[in-house]
Amino acid sequence: MEPQKVPVVLRFTDGRMEKCFVGPYFSHSLRVVQAIREDRSVITHPIESLKAVFFVRDLDGKDHPEGHWKENSPGAPRAGKMVVVTFRDGEKMRGRVLGAPGSGAGFFLYPAEPDSNNERVFVVNAATEGVAVEE
Q: What is the CATH number of the domain that holds 45?
A: 2.30.30.100
- The domain tally of the chain equals 1
Q: Is residue 26 part of a domain?
A: yes
The answer to the question of residue 86 being in a domain is no
Residue 63: predicted pLDDT? 58
Task: Give the lowest-confidence range in 11-20, 30-39, 47-56, 88-97.
Answer: 30-39
> Residue 100's CB: how many other CB atoms inside 10 A?
10
pLDDT > 80? residue 135: no
pLDDT at 84 over 90: yes
Give CA–CA dist 47/44, Å, rounded.
Answer: 9
Q: Would you give the DSSP letter of residue 57? A: S
What's the angle, vertex CA 23, arms to CA 31 and CA 57, rounded to 5? 110
